[in-house]
Amino acid sequence: MPRLLIVHHTASPAMQAMFEAVVAGAGNEEVEGVEVVIRPALTAGAADVLAADGYLLGTPANIGYMSGALKHFFDGIYYPCLEATQRRPYALYVHGASDTGGAVRAVEAIATGLNWRRARPPVSVVGPRAGPTLRPARNSGPPPRRSSRERAAQGPRSEG
């Protein structure tokens, strides 16, 4: 049975909402014949990656970069998995208070180095929360982005 490994760093309510949508989508009754394995980024390791057929990665955008936890995950699995996991599919979801571009670019650069293939464009949510607009993340694409006017009306916010 194919195995999907979800590796996540869920450090905020927004990331928790995204994570829950991802897990709901992966466990949806329409998705048959796939074993879903969930690991926090700080505990996922090379054995998890080698045993999986595809990867779904989740990270907040912290100070313009992926979380330290996801970077730690990549540092630990890069060389042990470099040859054996080439061409495996991956997808990414990211939340940032004001921007996610740096985090997306960083993850994509490492995934390119591993020779993983992007299964779909990253799901990127910008703003203070990710809650009510999310639906189970199956194959539905990213939630709508808020306009800069809507974000400005919300005022300053912390990274998440």
Q: Give whole-number Cα distances, 62 to 1, 36, 119, 135, in Å.
A: 35, 27, 24, 24
pLDDT in tens, 25-69: 998 888 889 999 999 999 999 999 999 999 999 999 998 899 999
pLDDT at 159 over 50: no
> Does residue 143 come out as left (phi exceeding 0), alpha (psi in the -120 to 50 range) or beta?
beta
The arrangement of secondary structure in 3-154, i.e. its CATH architecture, is 3-Layer(aba) Sandwich (3.40)
Q: What is the pLDDT of residue 86?
A: 98
Q: Which residue has the higher pLDDT, 102 or 144?
A: 102
Q: What is the biggest distance separating any 2 CA atoms in the chain, rounded to whole angstroms?
A: 48
User: 22 Cβ partners below 8 Å, 6+ apart?
Assistant: 6, 8, 56, 58, 93, 137
pLDDT band at 15 (very low <50, low <70, confident <90, very high): very high
pLDDT at 118 over 60: yes
pLDDT at 149 over 90: no
Q: What is the pLDDT of residue 160?
A: 43
Burial of 97 (0-12, 13-18, 19+ CB in 10 A): buried
pLDDT at 153 over 80: no
Cα distance between residue 59 and residue 68, in whole Å: 9
Q: pTM of the full predicted structure?
A: 0.81
